[in-house]
Amino acid sequence: MQTCRLSGAGTVSAGAVVTCAALTLAISALPTLARDRDQTVLHDGNGLTLRWHLQAGLNAVVERNLYWDLAATTAPGSGFDPDANWLEGYAKAGISFEMGQEGGAVIYGKLSAVTSYTWGTDAFDTGNTGATTLEEAYLAIRGDTVSGLSYDLSLGPRELTLGTGMLIANGATSGFERGALKFGPRKAWERALIGRLSHGNLTGTLFFLDPNELPSTDGDNELAGFDLRYDDPAGGFIGLTYVDVLQSNSSYPQAAPGGIGAPTVIPGAREGTRTLGIYGKTSPFTGALENWTFTGEFAYQKNDRIDLEAWAGRVTAGYTFANIPWSPVVTVGYQSFSGDDPNTTTLERYDPLYYQGSPSAWATGSKSASTFINSNVNALTLAVSVRPTARDTWTLRYAHIRANELNSPIQFGQATRVNINGNVVAGVTDAHLADDFFLEYSRIINRNTFLTAGVSVSFPGAGIDNVIGTSADPWTGGFVNVVFNF
């Protein structure tokens, strides 16, 4: 889940606490006096402003037949229970400041920490655990030059999302020993050096990032790159992102020749992977295309050291029925992430890096996103959203999910098994993986309190049935949570 921050794999989430864009729109419809009242100001005078920040949430989750009970076939000795109930919570507290300087520059910064915990056993068979970690701790300066340029330089742990969140968004990992798996309250990069230069509607960003990974699985990743973005005053945008993995101990799996045998694990394979991505969204149209919105993203990856060449992309088309009660919005999309072809020596497996994994962003399916990272999968998606009132939003999401390459790792090779012929195989023998349905309700109780509830079901496809050897049962679940955001 993505906790809405009303101010911006990656870790994959199985649902969204609430869609930030929907909240922003709905809050804008609340009375002006309520919006203007700022309770968080501790001090405002002599050029210095101090604010406190607090965000907290509690989430109850029920899951049945987790992962279509694949563990009974692929890991029968694990003792994994496919039914789980748990409660998770988190609190994020911090303080920020802004201090004006002579000449118009502003020095600013923020310090915050996250405490999270899970009561019971979650979907990854971990529970009754949690942690308190540093979140943001940055110092920055912004201002304008006499030539009309604006600058913003920042040093220290903070959040950074580029483009649509396809490559750079989730800077930290939650769940496992840190607790709060679904909420995923941590977003800030552990180390971050970010520089922005803007002129008019054009913004360039240079960055160096070190993700805040779990201590138990820290891959010592370091990234650097740039983003160039143009924002149309009418509302659209177009941009380009380049990411270079400078250092990493993270491994890649590669399909066995012909798909027969266990995948080969290449240690430290991520180091040297370079990704170039382009993204865009149309501005509002007039005439025949009025109320239509189109988006497009594409990424190309290369790593000459390990002979990697991969790609990913997405297109969406959305239409708003502006003259119908509840203003329905229908969005259709298709996204695809290359998998490793077992019949070539080149590694074609796409590395999704640090994408935003909520269903409203880059998750492939709702439940399936907890099983398949954005590699060797594609999905045809449909979302229908209605707003009966300014405070209430209902969203129904559907995803038809398929594999791009057969007999090739879909996540990291966890489904490696012995088939009926005695051969060790990985991946699936039929491309159809699952069909996911997710119904979500969001309620803005007041300016600072949000309620979200959802139910979801994933019907396994022939690819999953073939792994199990019979017709697998659906995977179902639901959640309800409350989030407080100041």
Q: Where are the alpha helices (DSSP H) in 151-198?
A: none
Task: Say if residue 304's pLDDT is above 70.
Answer: yes
Task: Say if residue 62's pLDDT is above 50.
Answer: yes
Q: Residue 209's pLDDT band (boundaries 50, 70, 90)?
A: very high
- DSSP label of 165: S
Residue 422 pLDDT:
54
Burial of 113 (0-12, 13-18, 19+ CB in 10 A): middle
Task: Say if residue 229's pLDDT is above 90.
Answer: yes
Task: Say if residue 419's pLDDT is above 80.
Answer: no
Could you tell me which residue, 119 or 467, shows the higher pLDDT?
119
Could you tell me which residue, 28 or 141, shows the higher pLDDT?
141
317-334 tens-digit pLDDT: 999 999 999 999 999 999
Burial of 49 (0-12, 13-18, 19+ CB in 10 A): middle
Least confident window among 24-38, 159-173, 277-291, 360-374? 24-38
Residue 74 pLDDT:
77
Residue 424 pLDDT:
57
Q: Residue 383's pLDDT band (boundaries 50, 70, 90)?
A: very high
Could you tell me which residue, 137 or 286, shows the higher pLDDT?
137
255/80 Cα distance (integer angstroms):
26
CATH 2.40.160.100 fits 20-485, yes or no: yes
Q: Tokens representing 83? A: 């039914």
Residue 14 pLDDT:
37
Query: In Å, what is the CA distance from 80 to each residue of 33, 124, 300, 436, 467?
Result: 52, 9, 37, 23, 17
Domain boundaries, the chain: 20-485
56/183 Cα distance (integer angstroms):
10
Q: Tokens representing 358? A: 């909520």
439-458 tens-digit pLDDT: 999 999 999 999 999 999 99
Contact call for residues 394 and 376 (beta carbons, < 8 A): no
Residue 377 pLDDT:
96
Residue 245 pLDDT:
98
| % of the chain exceeding 70 in pLDDT | 90
Query: Collapsing DSSP states into helix, strand and coil, what is residue 215?
Result: helix
Residue 16 pLDDT:
39
Residue 32 pLDDT:
44
Chain centroid to CA 382: 18
The mean pLDDT of 62-86, rounded to a whole number, is 90
Least confident window among 253-262, 301-310, 438-447? 253-262
Q: Which residues contact 26 (CB under 8 A, 6 or more apart)?
A: 387, 390, 391, 393, 444
| % of the chain exceeding 90 in pLDDT | 81
The mean pLDDT of 356-364, rounded to a whole number, is 93
Task: Say if residue 279's pLDDT is above 50.
Answer: yes
Task: Say if residue 19's pLDDT is above 60.
Answer: no
Residue 415 pLDDT:
57
Task: Say if residue 28's pLDDT is above 60.
Answer: no
33-56 tens-digit pLDDT: 344 568 999 999 999 999 999 999
Residue 418 pLDDT:
57
The mean pLDDT of 435-439, rounded to a whole number, is 98
What is the average pLDDT score of the chain?
90
Residue 217 pLDDT:
92
Q: Residue 416's pLDDT band (boundaries 50, 70, 90)?
A: low
Residue 298 pLDDT:
98
